[in-house]
């Protein structure tokens, strides 16, 4: 049974806007119980311009910055982002995560606009589910 990235998306993407504070991003992460946020353009909440993760907070602190007082774009990864098309096979997502040592991927549509986020956990949960299913097939 082929599985596609679209099958891993569990909910509408949660984002933070360019220019928001690190405090605001942290509040969103805590409220939503997530560790990764796409940073979106203030003009278009589906146009991803960067990402911020829990790791970015640790890096900011290690550089002597107060992540609660700086903007998300001064702490997150901006510009070139790793993404995967919504219709890609899950193996493509797994390969990207493995190759670049990342735990999250932004999922985009044909126009390159945000439709979701998947994590390594989504792939691991899928693997466990598939192995259980194969035992009963």
pLDDT one-digit tens code per residue, 49-70: 999 999 999 999 999 999 888 9
Domain count, the chain: 1
Predicted local confidence at residue 133, as pLDDT: 47
**Rg for the chain, CA atoms, rounded:** 16
CATH of residue 125: 3.10.580.10
Closest CA to 20 of 94, 88, 70, 65: 70
The position carrying tokens 């790793």 is: 82
CA distances from 120 to 47, 71, 134, 135 (A): 23, 27, 21, 23
Angle between helices 90-100 and 120-135 (to 10 degrees): 130
The answer to whether 74 touches 19, Cβ cutoff 8 Å, is no
Query: Is it the case that residue 127 has pLDDT exceeding 90?
Result: no
pLDDT tens for each residue of 97-121: 999 999 999 999 999 999 999 998 8
Query: Is it the case that residue 136 has pLDDT exceeding 80?
Result: no
The answer to whether 62 touches 48, Cβ cutoff 8 Å, is no
Work out whether strand 77-78 and strand 44-53 pair parallel, antiparallel, or are unpaired. antiparallel
pLDDT tens for each residue of 67-89: 888 999 999 999 888 999 999 99
6-10, 13-17, 91-95, range with greatest mean pLDDT = 13-17
- The reported pTM is 0.86
Q: What's the chain's average pLDDT?
A: 89
């Amino acid at each position: 049974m082929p599985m596609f990235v679209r099958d891993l998306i569990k909910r509408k993407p949660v984002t933070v806007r360019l220019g928001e504070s690190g405090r605001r991003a942290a509040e969103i992460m805590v409220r939503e119980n997530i560790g990764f946020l796409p940073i979106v353009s203030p003009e278009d909440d589906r146009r991803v311009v960067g990402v911020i993760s829990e790791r970015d907070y640790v890096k900011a602190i290690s550089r002597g910055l107060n992540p609660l007082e700086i903007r998300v774009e001064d702490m997150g990864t901006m510009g070139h982002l790793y993404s995967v098309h919504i219709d890609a096979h899950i193996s493509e997502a797994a390969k990207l995560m493995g190759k670049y040592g990342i735990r999250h991927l932004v999922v985009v549509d044909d126009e390159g606009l945000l439709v979701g986020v998947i994590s390594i956990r989504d792939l691991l949960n899928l693997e466990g589910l598939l192995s259980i299913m194969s035992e009963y097939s």
